[in-house]
Each structure stands twice: as structure tokens, then as C-alpha cells.
Structure 1
Amino acid sequence: MGQVVAALVGGLTLGAQYALMALGFSMIFGILRVINFAHGAFYALGGYVGYAVTGQLGMPFVVGVVVAVAVTALLGAVFEILVIERRIDDHLATIVLTLGLGLAITAALLIVFGPRAVAYHFPIEGGVAMGGAVVPYGRLVVIGIAAIAVAAVHVFLYRTQTGRGLRAMADDRATAVTQGMRPKILFPVAFGIATGIAGLTGALVTPLFALSPSIGDQVLMVSFLTVILGGLGSMSGAVLAALLIGLVESFTGIYVGGQVAPLLLFCVVLVLLVVRPTGLAGREVEHV
């Protein structure tokens, strides 16, 4: 029973991380039709900003998270305005540009912090006993904050005027423009929110796991897999797929072995995509 609880909490923690990453990744694709290959680098950047503010400057952990979100969101918005906006309809160019940005961020982190992994501790220590296992408070905090962030994005998209404008741009850009929507304002907002979510995830999760300049590469691959499984452009599908992938990875890692877990995860995703080619959400690409 203790192993089951540990696997469940571990899976939910991984799922929360993947859900936040996939949410931002899916937002950029669903609204801008851009595949952001720098998304993992923004995750690593958020982690290092949090580490610099908390681990090196000695400021509170909350401050580090807030600064990480602000830095990554601002950088994402500026990059969209100065670079992506000019080639927004050239899909190959945006792929190359975001890939180049990701490499540039990773190289900058290597230069500033070095190639070795760094560690700083989550501010809340200890845990709570559940079903024969001790669940760290940090994991519960990550799950809770991830749930709040997902709910906040949902409220923003469906309950605010700006959010409705973003959804309109995702559904039919040409019609939305004729109705007064301004892509040059909405697109940087969407890109900044998505990269800010990546920064939030990095600052929040890396104290529990590991932090290195290349850590974003693995997270990017899982995020891309999650978005495909959930349904391209579907944010709700991405969150559902993230939870499923996190649970499968956690349970197979404990009961089968960490080396076999990626293979089993790939097989599960492959079977699900054969059954539902459009992804778990069952939506077409043009829908959010």
C-alpha cells in the first residue's frame, strides 16, 4: 500500500509538471500556430532564475518563483514581438527561430552557471503519512499550485475579454481580425503567458528533482509527446494526457524499473494514438 501511495503521489507530481509545460506549449500552438522548441529552455531558465534569487541571493522562495515567472514571460513576449511576429505564417522559419532561441538560452546558462547540476532545497521540509508512506510536503505543494495555475488559465481564457480574444484568434484568425482583434497585441500576450508558465514550472519543480542547463531538453520531449497525445491545440487534452503520462511513468518506474519505463510509456502512447488518432480530447487541430 505504501508503494501504491508513493507511486500515485509521484505520478501526480510528474503529471502536474508535465501539465503546466504542455499547457503553455499547447497555448502557443493553438493560438499562434507556432511550435515552440524553446519551451524546455524557458523551463530551465525559470529554474536557474529561482536558484539565483533563492539559493544565491538568499531571498524567499516565493520571490524567486515570482521573479522567474516575470523574467521568462517578459523574454517570451519580447521574442514574439521582435522575431516571431515577422515570420508568424512561415512555419519552418518559426521552428528554426524557436530552436535557435532554445540553444541560445541553454548556452547562456552553461556560460553563467557552468555544466554541473546545481541543487537548492524546497523551503517546506517534512511530509505527511499516507497509507504507509510519507509524502513530502513539497510534492503536495507542487500539485496544488499546478492545479491553481491550470484553473487560473482556464478562467482567463473563458471569463476575460482578452482570453475570449485569444480563443477567437485560435478558432478563426481572419474573422477575429475583422471583428477588431489585434494580433500584434494578443500574440505577445499568449506567448508571454505560455513562457511564464514554463518559468513557473522550472522554478517550482527543479528544487524537488534536478537542475542543469540541459534539463529542458527532456522536459520539452515529454511536453511535445503530451501535446500530441492530448490532441494538438487542445489545452484540456494536454492536461489530461500529462496526468496519464505522469502516472504511467511513476508506476512503471517503481514496479518495472526506470530503464524499462520509457519503453512502456511509448507503447501506451502509441496504442492510445492508434485508438484515438486525434488525441484524448478528440478535437481537430484548429480548435483550442
Structure 2
Amino acid sequence: MHEFLTAGIIGISLGAQYALLALGFTLIFGILGVINFAHGGFYALGGYVAYAAVSQAGLPFPLAVLAAVVATAALGALYERFLIERLVDDHLATMMLTLGLYLVISTGLLAVFGPQSPEFSFPVQGTLRAGTLYLPLENLVVLAVCAAAIGALWLLIYRTDFGRALRALADDRKVATTQGMRPGLLFPLAFGLATGLAGLTGALVTPILALSPSAGDPVLVTSFLTVILGGLGSIAGAVVAAVIVGFVEAYASVYLGGSTGALILFVTVLVILLARPTGLFGREIRGA
């Protein structure tokens, strides 16, 4: 029972991490209609920016995480403004652009930092005892930060003029533009917000798992899987699907092993998609 409950806590933590990644992924698709294959690259970049801020600049870890968010958000906004926006209605071209950016990021990280994983550890270590349970402190901290970020994103999207403008553009870009919405300003901000979420996740998680130039590879696969499961463009679906993926991965890995756990995860997603081909939240309005 202790093992079962501990795996549940880890599953919730994994779900929160996957939710942040999937929210960024689905935000870009829901608003711009762009599938961002560079999402995993921004995750890895966030980890390396945090690592460099701690090891070379001597910043405390919270400021290093903030630096990672700012750097990835700024890069994402600039990339959208000067490249993606020119071809935003050409889905094949934007897919190739984001894939190219991912290759540039991963190759650049490999050239600068080398193939070896640097020594980068989470600042909070140990376990928290709750009755007969022993809970990893790092997972609890990551869970708290991710939950706070998800809550802040929800407030931003549903309780601010900025969020209402983004949802209006997602629903009908032409009508929203005639009402005064400015895609040239809002699209880069949305893209930067999404890539900043990926950078935040990378800065938080890579010290616990592993930091390498290819750290974004499994992240990209999991993010895409989660977004498809939840329903493309659905924020609520991304969160629910992320929790499901987190629990399945945690329990399958604990009781069946890593490789078998991955198989169980894919089978679970396949079964759900067979029942609901459009994802858990089906054909919801983009960004809703």
C-alpha cells in the first residue's frame, strides 16, 4: 500500500509536469494552428539555461529557473515574430520551421556543452514523512510549482483581456482582427508564453531526471501524445490527459518496469482514442 500511494504522488507530479508541457503545445496549436516540433528543444534549453545560471553565474536556483523562463519565452516570441508569422497559414512550412529550430537548438547545445550530462542537481533533497509514507521532496516542490503555473495560466487565459483576445483569435481570426485584435502582437506573445512554459518545465525537471542535448526527444513524444489524447486545442483536455498519462506511467513503471510501462501507456492511449477518436474533449472550441 505504501508503494501504491507513493507511486500515486509521483504520478500526480508527472501529470503536472506533462500538463505544463502539453498546455504550451496546445496553446500554440489552438491559437496559431501551428504544431510546434521545437517544444522539446525549448524544454532542453530551459534546463541548460538554468544549469548555466547556477554553475557559471552563481544564481540561486529560483532565479535560474526565472532566467530559463525569460530566455525561452523571448526566443520563442522572436522566432514566431520573424519566421513563423510569415508562413503561419502554411501548416507544412511551419512544421518544417519548428522541426528545423529543434535541430538547431539540440545541435547548438551539443556543440556548447558536449554530449555528457552535466552535474546539475535539484536544490531540495530528501523525503518528507507523512504518517507511514515517505514522499520525495523534489517531486512535491515540482508539483507545487507546476500547479501554481497551471493556475496562473488559467487565470491569464480566462480572466484577463489578453486571454480573451487570444481566445477570440483562436475562434475566428478574421472577425477578431476586425474587432481590433492585433495578431502581429498577440501571436508572438502567445508563442513566447508557450515556449516559456516548456523552459520552466525543463529548468525544474532536468535536475531530477537528466540534462542532455537530446533531453527534449521523449518530451516531444509525450507532449504530442498528451495533446492528441486530450483533444487538439483543448486546454482542459491537455490537463486531464496529462494526469492520466502521469498516473499510467508512474504505476506501470513501478509495477511493470520502464519498457513495459511505456508499452502500457501507448496501449492505454490507443484504447481511449479508439473510443473517442477526437480525444477526451472532442471538438471543443480551440483554447477552451
Shorter-chain TM range is over 0.9
Match of 1:259, SS? helix
Whichever residue aligns with residue 256 of structure 2, its letter is: V
Match of 1:134, SS? strand
Q: Does 1:173 align with 2:173?
A: yes
Q: Does 1:122 align with 2:135?
A: no
**For the residues of structure 2 that align with 1:21 and 1:107, how far apart are their CA atoms?**
21
What corresponds to 1:267 in structure 2?
Answer: 267
| Residues 276-285 or 224-233, more deviating | 276-285
**For the residues of structure 2 that align with 1:125 and 1:64, how far apart are their CA atoms?**
18
Structure 1, gaps ≥5 residues long: none
- Is contact 1:232–1:285 with CA below 8 Å preserved after alignment? no
Whichever residue aligns with residue 268 of structure 1, its letter is: T
Whichever residue aligns with residue 24 of structure 1, its letter is: G
Whichever residue aligns with residue 38 of structure 1, its letter is: A
Q: Does 1:258 align with 2:258?
A: yes
What aligned pairs does 1:14-25 form with structure 2 within 5 A after superposition?
A: 14-25=14-25
- Is contact 2:127–2:134 with CA below 8 Å preserved after alignment? yes
Whichever residue aligns with residue 77 of structure 1, its letter is: A
Whichever residue aligns with residue 107 of structure 2, its letter is: A
Cα deviations across residues 205-229 of structure 1 (Å, max 9, x unaligned)?
A: 1111111000101101000000000
Whichever residue aligns with residue 164 of structure 2, its letter is: R
Q: Does 1:216 align with 2:216?
A: yes
Whichever residue aligns with residue 144 of structure 1, its letter is: A
Match of 2:259, SS? coil
Cα offset, 1:198, TM superposition: 0.5
**For the residues of structure 2 that align with 1:54 and 1:5, how far apart are their CA atoms?**
34
What aligned pairs does 1:1-288 form with structure 2 within 5 A after superposition?
A: 1-130=1-130, 132-284=132-284, 286=286, 288=288
- Is contact 1:69–1:199 with CA below 8 Å preserved after alignment? yes
- Is contact 2:235–2:287 with CA below 8 Å preserved after alignment? no
Whichever residue aligns with residue 250 of structure 2, its letter is: S
**For the residues of structure 1 that align with 2:236 and 2:150, how far apart are their CA atoms?**
9
Whichever residue aligns with residue 26 of structure 1, its letter is: T
Cα offset, 1:185, TM superposition: 0.5
Whichever residue aligns with residue 241 of structure 1, its letter is: A
Structure 2, gaps ≥5 residues long: none
- Is contact 2:68–2:200 with CA below 8 Å preserved after alignment? yes
**For the residues of structure 2 that align with 1:211 and 1:65, how far apart are their CA atoms?**
14
- Is contact 1:28–1:34 with CA below 8 Å preserved after alignment? yes
Cα deviations across residues 154-186 of structure 1 (Å, max 9, x unaligned)?
A: 100111111100000001111111111110001
- Is contact 2:117–2:210 with CA below 8 Å preserved after alignment? yes
Cα deviations across residues 2-40 of structure 1 (Å, max 9, x unaligned)?
A: 211221121112111111000000000000000000000
| Cα distance, 1:111–1:90 mapped onto 2, change above 3 Å | same
Match of 2:258, SS? coil
Cα offset, 1:131, TM superposition: 5.4
Runs of 4+ in 1 over 6 A off after TM superposition: none
Cα offset, 1:287, TM superposition: 5.2
- Is contact 1:21–1:198 with CA below 8 Å preserved after alignment? yes
- Is contact 2:124–2:137 with CA below 8 Å preserved after alignment? yes
Normalising by structure 1, what TM-score?
0.97
**For the residues of structure 1 that align with 2:279 and 2:88, how far apart are their CA atoms?**
25
Normalising by structure 2, what TM-score?
0.97
Cα deviations across residues 252-276 of structure 1 (Å, max 9, x unaligned)?
A: 1111111111111111001111111
Cα deviations across residues 42-91 of structure 1 (Å, max 9, x unaligned)?
A: 00000000011113332200110000000000000000011001001000
Pairwise CA RMSD? 1.2
**For the residues of structure 2 that align with 1:30 and 1:131, how far apart are their CA atoms?**
43
Cα deviations across residues 127-170 of structure 1 (Å, max 9, x unaligned)?
A: 21235342121111111111111111110011111110000000
